[in-house]
Amino acid sequence: MKILSAKVIVCSPGRNFVTLKLVTDQGVYGIGDATLNGRELAVVAYLENHVIPCLVGMDPRRIEDIWQYLYRGAYWRRGPVTMRAIAAVDMALWDIKAKLAGMPLYQLLGGRSRDGVMVYGHANGRDIAETVDAVGQYIELGYQAIRAQTGVPGIKDAYGVGRGSLSYEPADAALPTVTGWDTAKALRHVPQLFDKLRATYGFEHQLLHDCHHRYTPREAATLGRALEPFQLFWIEDCTPAENQEAFRLIRHHTTTPLAVGEVFNTIWDVKDLIQNQWIDFVRCSVLGAGGITHLRRIADLAALYQVRTGSHGATDLSPVTMGCALHFDTWVPNFGIQEYMRHSDATDEVFPHDYRFERGLLYCGEAPGHGVDIDEALAAKHPYQPACLPVTRLEDGTLWNW
């Protein structure tokens, strides 16, 4: 059996997506997601120039060998472009293998560990009152877990604040929008949000908060402590984690659970965080971390240290990633939670899928493969639109972490 052809499909049904389609000589095909928000075309070039020429003619059943070939064979290791390209190939190969087996992907991974997958949605508002309302909307929709973000007085476009709908798209302009940040103001404001949320809705629902890499370790520890009475499910990316050791200080000063991983690509980027039990949740995704083959290694390492998964699942990860993630989450023993920012109707039409939402849980389908396809004719009607992620500056103009 051979890979006959491969193509990269770029489309923008409301936002940009890069999709890989691998076709075999037996007619079975597989689909993978290769989207890198704000840097999409770098992955397109990597796939078209450096990966696809090697893939054609290979046996698609050799998933592990192809993964090693693309990772070790590049000589240059890690990085978001390489690892997303590998992820796209890996997703497509697992899709093909599961279709050949006539099984839904989770069965190949080891079978079902749970009935459904707990997901969290994104509630946001320009101020605390708006966020409290938005959380109420999610509760009405049946969500059991909700991430809450709010505007902060004196900060221009604080992270996570949408523009009036249930979801938001941060990649909003052809050149980066400049947003603001002020740690002292946020540190005073964020605990007030969670105080109000618990006073309004009680403690039944899981609440989460994304710090988006804004605080220093000491500031993050201060926030974690201030949030302890409100019993969050986690605070996410509370400080940049290139230096994994930074989490030692935070961990020793707060019992608020900590989550990290969406910007990282390999097991090496989270190894110290996991082995030192400095985090509670590892948030690497199928797309970000080299596909199912590599994410499984990260999850297995995490399981040894009682660290659970919490896959990144923003809208810039296409329904193809969501389909793979749900099969993965249905199997993985140390599952924690899955992020689920709903895709737009236009996106859902381009990517027909069989997963479904019910009472706060997502359920993967039973169709052979990962259950997500791409309608190429419809995709062609939504051409690529250049869109960058914002940058952040402090009040004095210093560039900060967006």
Active-site residues, by number, are: 159, 212
Distance in angstroms (rounded) separating the CA atoms of residues 76 and 194: 44
181 within 8 A of 400, measured Cβ to Cβ: yes
Residues that bind ligand CS2 (CB under 6 A): 37, 170, 210, 212, 262, 312, 314, 316, 339, 389
Interface with Mg ion by CB under 5 A: which range of 82-90, 162-170, 203-211, 303-311?
203-211
Q: Closest residue (Cβ) to Mg ion?
A: 210
Nearest partner of 18 among 81, 71, 66, judged by Cα: 81
Return the one option of ligand CS2, Mg ion, none that residue 339 interacts with (CB less than 5 to 8 A, by type): ligand CS2
Rounded CA separation 146/124 (Å): 10
Spatial distance between the Cα atoms of 362 and 335, rounded to a whole number of angstroms: 13
Q: How far is the CB of 297 from Mg ion (least distance, A)?
A: 22
**Residue 191 or residue 313: which is nearer to ligand CS2 going by CB?**
313
What does the CA dihedral 299, 286, 46, 263 come to, rounded to 10 degrees?
A: -70
Span near Mg ion by CB under 5 A; candidates 19-27, 187-195, 209-217, 366-374 = 209-217
- How many Å apart are CA 17 and CA 348, to the nearest integer? 12
State the Cα–Cα distance between residues 242 and 255, nearest whole angstrom.
22
Torsion of CA 24, 26, 61, 369, to 10 degrees: 90
105 versus 320: smaller Cβ distance to ligand CS2: 320
CB of 339 to Mg ion, least distance (A): 8
Nearer to Mg ion, 210 or 269 (CB): 210
- Work out what residue 266 binds among Mg ion, ligand CS2, none; the CB cut-off runs from 5 to 8 Å by kind: none
Q: How far is the CB of 347 from ligand CS2 (least distance, A)?
A: 14
The span of 50-58, 182-190, 210-218, 292-300 binding Mg ion (CB under 5 A) equals 210-218
CB nearer to Mg ion: pick between 169 and 210 = 210
Longest Cα–Cα distance in the chain: 61
Least distance from ligand CS2 to the Cβ atom of residue 212, Å: 6
Whether 378 contacts 204, CB under 8 Å: no
Shortest distance, position 58 Cβ to ligand CS2, whole Å: 31
Interaction of residue 210 with Mg ion, rule CB under 5 A: yes
Q: Encode 5-37: b = buried (16+ Cβ within 10 Å), e = exposed.
A: ebebbbbbbbbbbbbbbbbbeeebbbbbbbbbb
Return the number of the residue (22 or 155) whose C-beta is nearest ligand CS2. Answer: 155
Stretch that binds Mg ion, among 110-118, 205-213, 218-226, 389-397 (CB under 5 A): 205-213
Smallest gap from Cβ 281 to Mg ion, in A, equals 12
Q: What gap in Å lies between CA 194 and CA 210, rounded to an integer?
A: 13
Reported in sequence order, the residue ranges of 43-201 that DSSP labels E, i.e. its strands, are: 117-125, 145-150, 178-181
**Which does residue 314 touch among Mg ion, ligand CS2, none (CB within 5 to 8 A, set by kind)?**
ligand CS2
CA–CA gap between residue 21 and residue 9 (Å, rounded)? 8
Pick one of ligand CS2, Mg ion, none as the site partner of residue 189 (Cβ within 5 to 8 A by kind): none
At 299, phi and psi to the nearest 5? -65, -40
316 binds, among ligand CS2, Mg ion, none (CB under 5 to 8 A by kind): ligand CS2
Taking the least distance from each CB to ligand CS2, the nearer of 182 and 339 is 339
Binding segment (CB under 5 A) for Mg ion, from list 82-90, 131-139, 204-212, 374-382: 204-212
Contact residues toward Mg ion (CB under 5 A) are: 210
